Amino acid sequence: MKKYHLKSSDSFKPSIDYSSDLNPEQLEAVTSDDGAALVIAGAGSGKTRVVTYRVAYLIEKGVDPSRIMLLTFTNKASREMLQRVELLIKGESRKVWGGTFHSIGNMILRKYGKAIDLAPDFTILDREDSKDLIESSVAEMKLRKDKMFPKANVLINVISYATGTERSVIEEIEENYAHLFVYCDEIEKVKNRYEAKKREMKLVDFDDLLFLWKKLLVDVPAIREKLSEKFLHMLVDEYQDTNRIQSEIVDLMISKHNNIMVVGDDSQAIYSFRGACFDNIIEFPDRYHNARTFKLTTNYRSTDEILGLANESIAFNSRQFPKTLNALNRKGPLPALVPLKNTGQQAEFISQRILDLVDEGLPMKEIAILYRSHFQSMDLQMELTRRRIPYEVRSGMRFFEQAHIKDVVSYLRAILNPMDEISWTRILKLTPGIGGVTARKIWD
């Protein structure tokens, strides 16, 4: 009689040498068991490496890559992570559901949106399109007779933040736009008209991609069950930047298996003004019972001197995951904090410092200036020009937000969706002698 000795299915022989490629902190997070996990990734600590190796590890453990969802905040981050997975495990990354919350929401809504009366051929509005549709709603309601009525860019912010934080327009105004309280009723009506116009023309904005995704999961239990069953593992990048509705989408999507790994840094939570909810990351261990917390504290990017300043600056945060970042045997000069009176003096100091560095022999191409927002660079650009210091601005308007590109795209969108008022209005305004008012009359 022939005997068979069955090999244990628990034997795991990966093709990747995880212990050599990762430091001990990273290795512990990457090879952790199923369940809920929070990875606190300090700046420069190899967060992207952990996420990509975690995806590779799951696949090598036998998880079907099509049952893994990776949510990021930029398409670039998603592409970069999946490309790195592809380098680790050839041919597998293409099957992973990777993308931003909005891009994944778009895919799910096109497939299942009919269940909540959303046509699969909807058109997505970008920020400028949304502002145009808001302005169209305001014009129809004849609210521009009041010269003080808020502009479209303010209105879209109010409506967008109210949606993302799941608050009413009135609550949002009370919290962040108190000076607009006198217009509460009118703004609520503008929002309602804006929503109605979107439905009429099969349009959705970026906020809808999240709002409707959540609505689908809440209102249609069968689809929620199907999706939560399909996705065995979910990973979320930059979790400290998620808003309330994004956090709730994650909760609903993992309701079946509860295998969730979120990666973020409570000390980098700086987007509350955009609707990000700090509670999402700080209360994660309380929301997910038996959740494990991993900390990445080895910094590969900065020097001890910079990290010493960073550690001291966050030491007294009242709500945080305590951590101390350590440099990997790197030394450097002490950071300098220069108090200045105003942006003009700041521009003068920076320009003078550049000239001093050049006199010391440092090539100009090795000097970079970082600023928080583009508008803050105006004084600096003027001062650099005055002192004849050559410079190149590496930021600005996105490609698809440029006027001539939007003109071309409007024709394409009108062909695909003849009910797209925003695109037709833009096309009409390209005709000599036709302005915004005339274009709206022609459309009407």
User: Residue 217 maps to which CATH number?
Assistant: 3.40.50.300
pLDDT value of residue 302: 87
Domain boundary among 201, 225, 252: 201
The token pair at 272 is 């509350």
Residue 187 lies in a domain: yes
Higher model confidence: residue 431 or residue 108? Answer: 108
Range of 142's domain? 136-201
pLDDT value of residue 375: 74
Q: Which helix (H) or strand (E) holds 428?
A: helix 421-429
pLDDT value of residue 227: 97
- Of the given ranges (209-218, 220-229, 322-331, 381-390), which has the lowest mean pLDDT? 322-331
Asked whether residue 6 carries a pLDDT value surpassing 80, the answer given is no
* DSSP alpha helix (H) spans, 201-297: 206-219, 221-230, 244-253, 279-282, 284-287
Q: Do both 99 and 231 map to the same domain? A: yes
Q: Do both 51 and 97 map to the same domain? A: yes
Residue 84 lies in a domain: yes
How far is it, in rounded angstroms, from Cα 102 to Cα 82?
17
Give the CB-side neighbour count of residue 349, counting CA atoms within 13 A.
Answer: 11
How far is it, in rounded angstroms, from Cα 409 to Cα 404?
9
Residue 181 lies in a domain: yes
Residues 123-136: pLDDT tens digits? Answer: 999 999 999 999 99
Q: Do both 106 and 248 map to the same domain? A: yes
Q: Do both 45 and 64 map to the same domain? A: yes
How far is it, in rounded angstroms, from Cα 159 to Cα 173?
10
Domain boundary among 182, 201, 220: 201
Q: Would you call 151 helix, strand, or coil by DSSP?
A: coil
pLDDT value of residue 437: 82
pLDDT band at 3 (very low <50, low <70, confident <90, very high): low
Give mean pLDDT, residues 68-85. 92
Q: Do both 219 and 319 map to the same domain? A: yes
Percent of the chain whose predicted confidence (pLDDT) is above 70? 96
Give mean pLDDT, residues 298-321. 87
**How many C-beta neighbours within 10 Å does residue 40 have?**
26
pLDDT value of residue 111: 97
pLDDT value of residue 55: 96
Q: Do both 289 and 419 map to the same domain? A: no
Q: Do both 218 and 314 map to the same domain? A: yes
> What are the residues facing 98 on neighbouring strands?
70
CA angle 221, 224, 227 (to 5 degrees): 150
In one letter, which amino acid is 316? F
Q: What is the tally of structural domains in the chain? A: 4
Residue 292 lies in a domain: yes
Q: Do both 301 and 373 map to the same domain? A: no
Give mean pLDDT, residues 31-57. 94
- Which of 21, 25, 20, 58 has the alpha carbon at shortest distance from 42? 25
Q: Do both 294 and 173 map to the same domain? A: no
Residue 128 lies in a domain: no
Residue 123 lies in a domain: no
CB 364 within 8 A of CB 358: yes
pLDDT value of residue 191: 95
Residue 4 lies in a domain: no
Give mean pLDDT, residues 245-249. 96
Domain boundary among 165, 185, 201: 201
Residue 197 lies in a domain: yes
User: DSSP state, 243?
Assistant: B
Give mean pLDDT, residues 173-198. 93
pLDDT value of residue 15: 86
Q: Do both 173 and 265 map to the same domain? A: no
Tell me the backbone φ, ψ of residue 431, rounded to 5 degrees: -80, 130
pLDDT value of residue 332: 85
pLDDT value of residue 398: 57
pLDDT band at 101 (very low <50, low <70, confident <90, very high): very high
**Average per-residue pLDDT in the chain?**
90
pLDDT band at 1 (very low <50, low <70, confident <90, very high): low
Higher model confidence: residue 271 or residue 285? Answer: 285
Q: Do both 104 and 219 map to the same domain? A: yes
Whole-prediction pTM value? 0.79
**How many C-beta neighbours within 10 Å does residue 170 have?**
14
Residues 12-40: pLDDT tens digits? Answer: 778 899 999 999 999 999 999 999 999 99
Q: Do both 181 and 306 map to the same domain? A: no
What is the distance of C-alpha 79 from the center of its chain? 14
Give mean pLDDT, residues 154-169. 91
pLDDT value of residue 372: 80
Give mean pLDDT, residues 152-173. 92
